[in-house]
A and B are shown apart, each in its own frame.
Chain A
Amino acid sequence: MSPTKLPSAVVTPEQIETGNSLWHDAWSRLRKNRLAVCGGATLLVLALLCAFGPFFAQSYQDQNLDLGAAGPSAAHWLGTDTLGRDLFSRILFGGRISMMVGLVATFVALAIGVTYGAVAGFFGGKIDAVMMRIVDIMYALPFTIFVILLMVFFGRNIFLLFFAIGAVEWLTMARIVRGQIISIKKMEYIEAARALGLSKRRIIFRHMIPNILGPIIVYTTLTIPAVMLLEAFLSFLGLGVQPPMSSWGVLIKDGAEKMEEFWWLLVFPGGVFSLTLFSLNFLGDGLRDALDVRSSKD
Chain B
Amino acid sequence: MLRFTFRRLLQIIPVLWIIITATFFMIRFVPGGPFTAEKAVTPEILRNLEAHYGLNKPLYQQYFDYMGSLLRGDLGPSFKYPNRTVNEIIGDKLPTSLELGFISLAVALAIGITLGTLAAVKRNSWLDYVCSSTAMIGICVPTFVLGPLLVLTFAIHFQWLNASGWYGPSDRILPCLTLGCVYAAYIARLTRGGMLEVLNQDYIRTARAKGASEARVVFKHALRGGLLPVVSFLGPGIAGILTGSFVIETIFQIPGLGREFVNSAFNRDYTLVLGTVILYASLIVILNLVVDVVQIWLNPKLKFE
The yes or no answer to A277 lying at the interface (CB within 8 A) is: yes
Q: Contact flags (1/0) for A287-298 with B, using CB distance below 8 Å? A: 000000000011
The yes or no answer to A10 lying at the interface (CB within 8 A) is: no
Which of the residues B26, B236, B250 comes within 8 Å of A153, measured between beta carbons? B26
The yes or no answer to A112 lying at the interface (CB within 8 A) is: no
Q: By the criterion CB–CB under 8 Å, are B139 and A149 in contact?
A: no
- Chain A, range 122-161, C-beta contacts under 8 Å to B: 137, 139-142, 144-146, 148-149, 152-154
Given known A-B contacts A149-B277, A153-B27, A298-B189, A142 and B144 have beta carbons under 8 A apart: no
User: A4 contacts which chain B residues (CB < 8 A)?
Assistant: none
Which of the residues A140, A141, A281 comes within 8 Å of B139, measured between beta carbons? A281
Cβ of B138 to closest chain A Cβ, rounded Å = 11
Q: Number of contact residues on A: which range applies?
A: 35 or more
Cβ of B284 to closest chain A Cβ, rounded Å = 5
Cβ of B175 to closest chain A Cβ, rounded Å = 14
User: B23 contacts which chain A residues (CB < 8 A)?
Assistant: 146, 149
The yes or no answer to B140 lying at the interface (CB within 8 A) is: yes
User: A232 contacts which chain B residues (CB < 8 A)?
Assistant: 142, 144
Q: By the criterion CB–CB under 8 Å, are A140 and B235 in contact?
A: yes
CA distance A278 to B151 in the complex (A): 23
Q: By the criterion CB–CB under 8 Å, are B277 and A145 in contact?
A: yes
Cβ of B182 to closest chain A Cβ, rounded Å = 10
Which of the residues B26, B148, B251, B284 comes within 8 Å of A140, measured between beta carbons? B284
Nearest neighbor of B30 in chain A, beta-carbon distance: A153
The yes or no answer to A255 lying at the interface (CB within 8 A) is: yes
CA distance A137 to B22 in the complex (A): 15
The yes or no answer to B255 lying at the interface (CB within 8 A) is: no
Q: By the criterion CB–CB under 8 Å, are A266 and B148 in contact?
A: yes
Cβ of A295 to closest chain B Cβ, rounded Å = 13
The yes or no answer to B288 lying at the interface (CB within 8 A) is: yes
User: B148 contacts which chain A residues (CB < 8 A)?
Assistant: 252, 255-256, 259, 266, 270
User: A252 contacts which chain B residues (CB < 8 A)?
Assistant: 144-145, 148
The number of inter-chain residue pairs (CB within 8 angstroms) is: 110
User: B193 contacts which chain A residues (CB < 8 A)?
Assistant: 297-298
The yes or no answer to B89 lying at the interface (CB within 8 A) is: no
Q: Number of contact residues on B: which range applies?
A: 35 or more
Majority SS of interface residues in chain A? helix
The yes or no answer to B156 lying at the interface (CB within 8 A) is: yes
The yes or no answer to A116 lying at the interface (CB within 8 A) is: no
Q: By the criterion CB–CB under 8 Å, are A149 and B284 in contact?
A: no
The yes or no answer to A57 lying at the interface (CB within 8 A) is: no
CA distance A232 to B15 in the complex (A): 29
Cβ of A143 to closest chain B Cβ, rounded Å = 8
- Chain A, range 42-80, C-beta contacts under 8 Å to B: none
Given known A-B contacts A140-B15, A266-B152, A298-B190, A273 and B142 have beta carbons under 8 A apart: yes
The yes or no answer to A175 lying at the interface (CB within 8 A) is: no
CA distance A151 to B273 in the complex (A): 14
The yes or no answer to B246 lying at the interface (CB within 8 A) is: yes
Q: By the criterion CB–CB under 8 Å, are A281 and B140 in contact?
A: yes
CA distance A290 to B242 in the complex (A): 36
The yes or no answer to B280 lying at the interface (CB within 8 A) is: yes
The yes or no answer to B46 lying at the interface (CB within 8 A) is: no
The yes or no answer to B37 lying at the interface (CB within 8 A) is: no
User: Could you tell me which A residues sit within 8 Å of B by CB distance?
Assistant: 137, 139-142, 144-146, 148-149, 152-154, 225, 229, 232-233, 236-237, 249, 252-253, 255-256, 259-260, 263, 266-267, 270, 273-274, 277-278, 281-282, 297-298
Q: List 6 A-B contacts (CB under 8 A).
A: A141-B15, A141-B284, A148-B261, A233-B247, A259-B152, A277-B140
Cβ-closest 10 pairs across A and B: A270-B145, A153-B30, A256-B148, A277-B140, A144-B243, A152-B265, A140-B288, A236-B144, A278-B140, A274-B141
